[in-house]
Amino acid sequence: MANSAMAKLTLDGLTHREHWDAAGIRLPAYDVKALRQRTCESPRWVHVGPGNIFRGYIAALAQTLIESGKMDTGITTLSTFDHQIMEKIYKPYDNLALQVIMHADGSLDKTVIASIGESVKADAEDPADWPRIREIFANPGLQMVSFTITEKGYHIKNMDGNYFPDVLSDFERQTEIPRNGMAILAALLQHRYESGGHPITLVSMDNFSHNGDKLADSVCTVAQKWVENGTAPAGFLDWLRDKSKVAFPWSMIDKITPRPDPTVSKTLTDSGFADTELVITDKNTYIAPFVNAEAPQYLVIEDTFPGGRPPLEDAGVYFTTRDTVDRVERMKVCTCLNPLHTAMSIFGCVLGFSSIAEEMKDPDICALVNRIGYVEGMPVVTNPGILEPEAFLKEVIQVRLPNPYIPDTPQRIATDTSQKLAIRFGETIKLYRKSADLDTASLTAIPLAIAAWCRYLMGIDDEGQTFAISPDPLLEQLQGYIAPLAFGNPDSVGDNLRPILSNTHIFGVDLYEDSLGGKVEDYCRRMLAGKGTIRAVLHEELQ
C-alpha cells in the first residue's frame, strides 16, 4: 500500500510536486486542466488505440509540442476494441501516464505524460460516449485521426477471404454503434461528411507495409456496402476517395515499448511512485499506469494533410514523400529490424529464452540476426536518404537488441507471427526472385527461421517439453496442418507443411515456386529429430 508521501498519478497528485521531485520524475510544464478544457472545446487530433506505443511515444510527441508552445490542445483518445484499458488505466489515473525511458546503462528517464485531453470509447454495449464521439468528428477543426491498433485491427476478412461475422452485421447496420473498428470509423466519417465534409487525414501508425492503403481499403469497403444498401449517400464514398478532402498517408513507426515489466514496477515503487499495478485485460492487453520503453524512436509520415496538422517535425517526426516512406518502411520492416525480431522470437521460444537481451548473448542467435540483416537483407535495401540503412542496422544489433534494461520477450514478439511473415520475410524473397544478381538458393537464415516457426507451432521446445504458444489468429488452423508431426520422427513431416509453405496469404509468396519450400522442409525434418536438434541445425547452418 502506497503511503501519503508517494507520488500518485492523478490530477490531485500532480499538485504535490515535492513527491515527484523526490521520486526523480519530471512533471509536464503546462497547465494540464487548461489544456484539457481547450482540447474538449476544439478537438484537433484523435488517436484510436490507447495502448502502450501511444502512451509511451505518440502522446509524448504531443507533449513536446505543447511544452514548446507549438500546440495548445491535446489528443482525444478513442477506444474501439479493448475498452478495459479505459476503465482500468485511463479513468483511475485521470488520463495520465508515466513514461519510463530505459537506457543501456540502467538509468531511467521518468516523465509524466499529460497530453491526453479527453478519452472516449465507442462501445456498442455501453453507448454513453457515442454522441460525444460524433460531436468530435463533426468538428471542422479536427485535422487528423491517428491509429495504433496493430495490423489485425484493420482486417475485415479472415484468411479465407470471407468477411468476419461482426463486419457482415455492420454492413447491414444492425446496431447504432458498429462493432468492427473499421466500421466504427466509417460511421464517424459518414457523420463528418454529412456535417459539412470538412477535410481530414487518417494516419495509420501501425507497423506494416503501406498501412495507409490498408486503412483506406477497409474503410471504403464498408462505405461502399452502405452506399449499395442505401444507408449512406453515394457522395460519401466519393468524398472518402477525394484526396483533397480525405487523406490516408503511409507511415513508418519504430520504438520498442514492451509489456510493463515487474522489475520496472518495483524500481518505481522503491523510488517513491505509487501507481505500479500491472493489468492484463480480458483481451490480453498487458498494460500499467507506466510505459517502459527504449530511447531510440523513429516516425516517418507521408506529408499529405488536406486539413492541416500539428508541427510534429519539431518533435523529431520526419515528413516526406510516399516513395521515401516506402523505402524507410521496407528498410526497417523487411530488413533491418522486424525480420530480426521475428527470427529471434521464434528461436527464443523453442530454445527456452525469456529475454531478447539474453538472446543477444548467444553466439548462434547473434549469427542468425547478423546474417538476416547484413547478408540476406541488405542486398535488397534501397537507401531512403533520410536514414542510413547500415547505421540503422548497426544501432539495432549493437545497441537496441542487447539493451538488458528493455524487458522485452520473445513470447511477446511471437504474438500474431502468421500476420507478419509476408512482410518480414516474403518481401525479401520476392526481391530475390526478381533480381538477376540474387538467388533464393543462397538464403539460409530466412528459411531457418521459417522452419523453426513450423517447428514452434507444435508447442514442443528443443528439449521435448511443452510450452505456451503466443496468441495468433491462425493458430488453430495451422496446428491442424502440423498435427501429424511427431517429436523424434523426422519422417512425420511428409507433405504436411505444404498447405502452410504454399500459402500466399501467410508468406506473400508460394515457397515451392523455387527451392525454398524444400529447404524449409529439410530444416524442419532435422529440427524434429530429437532433443537439441533445433540448436544443432541453427549452429551447423550458420557457423
What does the pLDDT look like over 388-420, one tens digit per residue?
999 999 999 999 999 988 888 999 999 999 999
C-alpha cell at 14: 500532480
Q: What pLDDT score was predicted for residue 363? A: 97
Q: How many residues does the chain have?
A: 543
Nearest CA to 445 among 329, 543, 513, 352?
543
- 78-120 pLDDT, tens digit per residue, is 999 999 999 999 999 999 999 999 998 889 999 999 999 999 9
Averaged pLDDT, 262-281: 94
Q: How buried is residue 128: exposed, middle or buried, by Cβ count under 10 Å (0-12/13-18/19+)?
A: exposed
Q: Is 538 helix (H, G, I), strand (E, B) or coil?
A: helix
Q: What is the pTM of this model?
A: 0.84
DSSP string, 275-335: ----EE-TT--EE-SEEEE-S--EEEEE---TT----GGGGT-EEE-HHHHHHHHHHIIII
Query: DSSP class of residue 45?
Result: E
**Helix/strand number for the chain, H first, E second:** 26, 14
Percent of the chain with pLDDT over 70: 99
Who's near 487: CB < 8 A, 6+ residues apart?
A: 458, 460, 464, 528, 530
| Element spanning 113, H or E | strand 108-113
Question: Using CA atoms, how far apart are residues 420 and 422, in angstroms rounded to an integer?
Answer: 6
- 486-500 pLDDT, tens digit per residue, is 999 999 999 999 999
Q: What pLDDT score was predicted for residue 543? A: 83
Question: Using CA atoms, how far apart are residues 156 and 324, in angstroms rounded to an integer?
Answer: 28
For residue 361, the number of C-alpha atoms closer than 13 Å in the C-beta half-sphere is: 7
Averaged pLDDT, 264-274: 95
- pLDDT beyond 80 at 384: yes
Nearest CA to 48 among 79, 75, 81, 89?
79
Cell 470509447: give the residue: 121
Q: What are the backbone dihedrals phi and psi of residue 354, each rounded to the nearest 5 degrees, phi first?
A: -125, 10
Question: Using CA atoms, how far apart are residues 288 and 407, in angstroms rounded to an integer?
Answer: 14
Query: Cβ atoms within 10 A of the Cβ of 527, count?
Result: 25
- 287-333 pLDDT, tens digit per residue, is 999 999 999 999 999 999 999 999 999 999 999 999 999 999 889 98
C-alpha cell at 202: 487518417
Q: Is 494 helix (H, G, I), strand (E, B) or coil?
A: coil
Percent of the chain with pLDDT over 90: 93
Question: Using CA atoms, how far apart are residues 318 and 327, in angstroms rounded to an integer?
Answer: 13
- 446-485 pLDDT, tens digit per residue, is 999 999 999 999 999 999 999 999 999 999 999 999 999 9
Q: How buried is residue 465: exposed, middle or buried, by Cβ count under 10 Å (0-12/13-18/19+)?
A: exposed
CB 85 within 8 A of CB 51: yes
Cell 520473445: give the residue: 410
- 229-238 contact pairs (CB < 8 A, 24+): 229/171, 229/172, 229/173, 231/173, 232/190, 233/194, 235/193, 236/189, 236/190, 236/193, 236/194
What region, left, alpha or beta, does residue 308 occupy, with left being phi > 0 and alpha being psi -120 to 50 degrees? left
Angstrom CA distances, 147 to 66, 85, 302, 334, 524, stand at: 20, 16, 15, 21, 38
Q: What pLDDT score was predicted for residue 160? A: 82
Q: What are the backbone dihedrals phi and psi of residue 199, each rounded to the nearest 5 degrees, phi first?
A: -65, 155
C-alpha cell at 132: 460525444
Q: What are the backbone dihedrals phi and psi of residue 153, each rounded to the nearest 5 degrees, phi first?
A: -65, -15
CB 201 within 8 A of CB 192: no
3-state SS of the chain: helix, strand, coil percent to 5? 50, 15, 40
CB 445 within 8 A of CB 514: no
Q: What pLDDT score was predicted for residue 408? A: 87
Averaged pLDDT, 330-357: 95
CB 451 within 8 A of CB 520: yes
Among the residues of 332-426, which ranges form H helices? 338-350, 356-359, 363-370, 389-395, 410-413, 421
- pLDDT beyond 80 at 4: no
- 207-235 pLDDT, tens digit per residue, is 888 999 999 999 999 999 999 999 999 99
Query: DSSP class of residue 27?
Result: P
- pLDDT beyond 70 at 3: no
- pLDDT beyond 50 at 1: no
What is the pairing mode between strands 116-121 and 75-79?
A: parallel
Q: Name the least confident of 16-20, 31-35, 64-68, 208-212.
A: 208-212
